């Protein structure tokens, strides 16, 4: 009995150690963010006094608030487009048996396997010809669809029971009514997971938007933070300010984790396992 | 309910109408650009000038004889090699332990998983601070055991080590999550088989546990490989490909060629080579899955 308890204790101790290692960068970020600048190089781990004013400085000395607004608002718009285009496409792929529909699906499947970097140069030229470089509209246009979302929803739509669909059809439901009164309500969990995943992906996205967005008032969090970080590299880094900005940029993720961590973890796990 | 033929036409029209919102952006931002990149890769176009000439395979030949491209390719392979297997092994180690406890399991998974869902750009900045020569904790610890401080991001080998550590740390979040949930699903069966076999420890791991979760192991292997080939964000923040190209990988070199030097032709050729590499990995995935999981 006590041996078993000891074993459990060792397991917990190891896991606590491992999770401290995993979250260490976040702890470090927080510790630096509350240090006065003069203590960064002092060599002591803990600050002598807590300086939460670094967080206020992020808002007064940088445009972090604007970056946050840009990131969140553009991500939400992108989500709406990606989810609705995916719902319509997934409905057709899950229900229509025509040969041309299957060809379309193979085409999409083929594009899914190719790295998106291959599209960057022509897409960039296309947006520059349309005078949409450095605009949110240009970025949103290039992110209207998510091929991954189409696959994800097609799988859950295929699991909607045939008799439920049949009953709705007998009621005289057309395609749009089927989508909105049968498929969407039936797959609301899958759609909610997709919304979360799409938001996280869109908020974190960096390479493609950083090529498009160049002026400060249009920057997203990831691009703006990098600018803030690099602009200081020359004159001795203001690490407390930078780390406070990093911490603030993680706030949307922390809020999501706080309210929906079970769902995020569950959907991420199923996402990859059931593919 | 019209006649059957008009119903078929109507159904097709509906299918097309619902697919168009996906197909139009797909053609404009995926299919056309891919074909165009292939086309540009045979020209000497430089983005700024209005006209260009066809140069045949010259861009490809130049890349093949470019010593820096060789270095970039080697960097990518080294980086991929060291970032794919370690997070799977460490992740498995943690996941097996996680599955032996009941309380706080969710909390542990969530704390590990946060490394995967936070922006790579942001966490890379934090790692810059951790490895900073004068104020970072790594050198602080080194000094504590009487060693000289290291200029981590200033040395060719050490910079690569830092980029690899940051990437392994990020991947472990996903690895722990997927492996622990795969183990949790299998556990009752595995335990039963284990009792019948009387296997223990490593023997149990290799004979029962690993085969049972092999689909997820293959998935992680392929997913991490593709992700490492595409690595860009952490390199851009941590090292900008330096010092002297020591951490430049394929995608980073593509960025430099295309968007700093505007060498559009060579950059497109590089993109096509990159595409072929990714296709090879996808083909490997296909055959591995066929080989292992068809009954």
Q: Which domains, ranges and CATH numbers included, belong to chain A?
A: 54-273 (1.10.3720.10)
Do B253 and B274 contact (CB within 8 A), yes or no? no
Euclidean distance between the first and the last CA atom of chain A, given in angstroms as a whole number: 42
Is a pLDDT exceeding 70 seen at residue B3?
A: no
> Chain B neighbours among A 181-210 (CB < 8 Å)?
200, 203-204, 206-207
Confidence label for A51 from pLDDT (cuts 50, 70 and 90): confident
Across B262-281, average pLDDT: 92
Partner A contacted by B205 (CB < 8 A): no
Mind listing the pLDDT tens digit for each residue in A240-262? Answer: 888 999 999 999 988 888 888 88
Specify if B226 maps to a domain: yes
Average pLDDT of chain A to the nearest whole number: 88
Q: Do A206 and B11 touch (CB under 8 A)?
A: no
- Nearest neighbour of B274 by CB, restricted to A108, A115, A253: A115
Q: SS3 for A230? A: helix
Its domain, for residue B125, covers: 54-293
Q: What is the model's pLDDT at position B294?
A: 65
Q: Do A15 and B223 touch (CB under 8 A)?
A: no
Q: Do A207 and B232 touch (CB under 8 A)?
A: yes
Confidence label for B191 from pLDDT (cuts 50, 70 and 90): low
Confidence label for A75 from pLDDT (cuts 50, 70 and 90): very high
Distance from CA of A251 to the nearest CA of B (A): 10
Which residue does chain B place closest to A37, by CA atoms?
A: B135
HEC profile for chain B? Answer: CCCHHHHHHHHHHHHHHHHHHHHHHHHHHHHHHHHHHHHHCCECCCCCCCCCCECCCHHHHHHHHCHHHHHHHHHHHHHHHHHHHHHHHHHHHHHHHHCCCCCCHHHHHHHHHHHHHCCHHHHHHHHHHHCCCCCCHHHHHHHHCCCCCCCHHHCHHHHHHHHHHHHHHHHHHHHHHHHHHHHHHHHHHHHHHHHHHCCCHHHHHHHHHHHHCHHHHHHHHHHHHHHHHCCCHHHHHHCCCCCCCCCCCHHHHHHHHHHHCCCHHHHHHHHHHHHHHHHHHHHHHHHHHHHHHCC
Alpha carbon distance B180, B97 (integer Å): 9
Q: Do B272 and A118 touch (CB under 8 A)?
A: yes
Specify if B246 maps to a domain: yes
Confidence label for B196 from pLDDT (cuts 50, 70 and 90): low
Percentage of residues in chain A having pLDDT higher than 90: 45
Alpha carbon distance B239, B252 (integer Å): 11
For residue A188, cis peptide bond before it (omega within 30 degrees of 0): no
Confidence label for A191 from pLDDT (cuts 50, 70 and 90): very high
CB pairs A-B closer than 8 Å: 249
Mind listing the pLDDT tens digit for each residue in A102-152? Answer: 999 998 988 887 888 999 999 999 999 999 999 999 999 999 999 989 998
Q: Which two tokens stand for residue B24?
A: 């139009």
Mind listing the pLDDT tens digit for each residue in A77-96? Answer: 999 999 999 999 999 999 88
Q: Do A23 and B111 touch (CB under 8 A)?
A: yes
Distance from CA of A57 to the nearest CA of B (A): 18
**What pTM was computed for the model?**
0.89
Q: SS3 for A133? A: coil
Mind listing the pLDDT tens digit for each residue in A2-16? Answer: 787 888 888 788 888
Alpha carbon distance A235, B54 (integer Å): 46
Residue whose structure tokens are 């603030």: A248
Mind listing the pLDDT tens digit for each residue in A150-184? Answer: 998 998 899 899 898 888 888 888 889 999 999 99
Specify if B10 maps to a domain: no
Q: Which of A42-46, A53-57, A117-121, B86-90 has the lowest mean pLDDT?
A: A42-46
| Residues in chain B within 8 Å Cβ distance of A122 | 32-33, 36-37, 40
Specify if B43 maps to a domain: no
Q: How many domains does chain B have?
A: 1
| Residues in chain B within 8 Å Cβ distance of A264 | 113, 117
- For residue B63, give the CATH number of its domain: 1.10.3720.10
Q: Do B216 and A272 touch (CB under 8 A)?
A: yes
Do B93 and B175 contact (CB within 8 A), yes or no? no
Do A42 and A241 contact (CB within 8 A), yes or no? no
Cβ-count burial of A82 within 10 angstroms (0-12 exposed, 13-18 middle, 19+ buried)? buried
Q: What is the model's pLDDT at position B205?
A: 74
Specify if B239 maps to a domain: yes
Is a pLDDT exceeding 90 seen at residue A45?
A: no
B143 closest CA partner among A81, A103, A131, A44: A44
Specify if B204 maps to a domain: yes
Which residue does chain B place closest to A120, by CA atoms?
A: B33
Partner A contacted by B115 (CB < 8 A): yes
Is a pLDDT exceeding 50 seen at residue A36?
A: yes
| Rounded CA Rg of chain A | 24
Is a pLDDT exceeding 90 seen at residue A66?
A: yes
Do A28 and B137 contact (CB within 8 A), yes or no? yes
A78 closest CA partner among A171, A145, A173: A145
Specify if B63 maps to a domain: yes
Specify if B234 maps to a domain: yes
């Amino acid at each position: 009995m006590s041996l078993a308890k000891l074993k459990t204790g060792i397991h917990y101790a190891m896991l606590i150690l491992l999770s401290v290692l995993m979250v260490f960068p976040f702890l470090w970020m927080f510790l630096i963010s509350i240090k006065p600048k003069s203590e960064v190089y002092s060599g002591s781990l803990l600050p002598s006094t807590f300086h939460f004013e670094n967080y206020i400085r992020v808002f007064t000395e940088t445009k972090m608030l604007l970056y946050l607004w840009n990131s969140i608002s553009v991500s939400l718009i992108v989500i709406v487009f990606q989810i609705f285009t995916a719902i319509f496409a997934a409905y057709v792929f899950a229900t229509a048996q025509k040969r041309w529909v299957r060809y379309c699906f193979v085409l999409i499947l083929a594009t899914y396997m190719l790295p998106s970097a291959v599209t960057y140069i022509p897409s960039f030229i296309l947006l520059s010809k349309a005078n949409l470089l450095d605009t949110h509209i240009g970025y949103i246009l290039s992110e209207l669809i998510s091929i991954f979302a189409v696959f994800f929803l097609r799988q859950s739509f295929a699991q909607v029971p045939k008799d439920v669909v049949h009953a709705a059809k007998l009621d005289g439901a057309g395609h749009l009514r089927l989508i909105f009164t049968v498929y969407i309500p039936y797959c609301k969990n899958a759609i909610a997971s997709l919304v979360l995943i799409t938001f996280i992906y869109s908020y974190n996205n960096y390479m493609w938007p950083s090529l498009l967005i160049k002026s400060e008032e249009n920057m997203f969090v990831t691009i703006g933070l990098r600018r803030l970080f690099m602009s200081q590299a020359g004159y001795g880094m203001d690490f407390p300010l930078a780390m406070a900005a990093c911490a603030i940029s993680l706030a949307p993720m922390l809020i999501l984790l706080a309210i929906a961590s079970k769902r995020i973890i569950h959907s991420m796990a199923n996402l990859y396992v059931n593919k | 309910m019209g006649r059957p033929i008009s119903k078929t036409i109507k159904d097709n029209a509906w299918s097309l109408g619902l697919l168009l919102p996906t197909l139009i952006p797909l053609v404009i931002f995926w299919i056309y650009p891919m074909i165009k990149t292939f086309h540009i890769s045979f020209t000497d176009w430089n983005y700024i000038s209005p006209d260009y000439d066809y140069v045949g395979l010259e861009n490809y030949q130049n890349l093949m004889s470019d010593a820096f491209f060789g270095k970039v390719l080697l960097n990518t392979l080294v980086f991929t090699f060291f970032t794919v297997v370690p997070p799977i092994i460490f992740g498995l180690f943690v996941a097996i332990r996680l599955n032996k406890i009941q309380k706080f399991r969710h909390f542990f998974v969530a704390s590990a998983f946060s490394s995967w869902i936070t922006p790579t750009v942001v966490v890379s900045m934090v790692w810059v601070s951790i490895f900073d020569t004068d104020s970072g904790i790594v050198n602080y610890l080194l000094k504590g055991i009487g060693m000289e401080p290291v200029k981590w991001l200033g040395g060719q080998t050490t910079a690569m080590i830092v980029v690899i550590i940051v990437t392994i740390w990020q991947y472990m979040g996903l690895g722990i999550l997927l492996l622990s949930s795969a183990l949790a699903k299998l556990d009752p069966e595995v335990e039963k088989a284990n009792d019948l076999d009387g296997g223990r420890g490593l023997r149990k791991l290799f004979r029962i546990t690993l085969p049972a979760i092999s689909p997820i192991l293959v998935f992680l292997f392929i997913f991490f490989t593709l992700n490492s080939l595409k690595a860009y964000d952490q390199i851009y923040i941590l090292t900008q490909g330096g010092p002297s190209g020591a951490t430049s990988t394929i995608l980073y070199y593509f960025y430099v060629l295309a968007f700093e030097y505007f060498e559009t032709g060579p950059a497109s050729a590089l993109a096509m080579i990159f595409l072929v590499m990714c296709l090879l990995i996808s083909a490997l995935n296909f055959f591995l899955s066929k080989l292992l999981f068809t009954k």
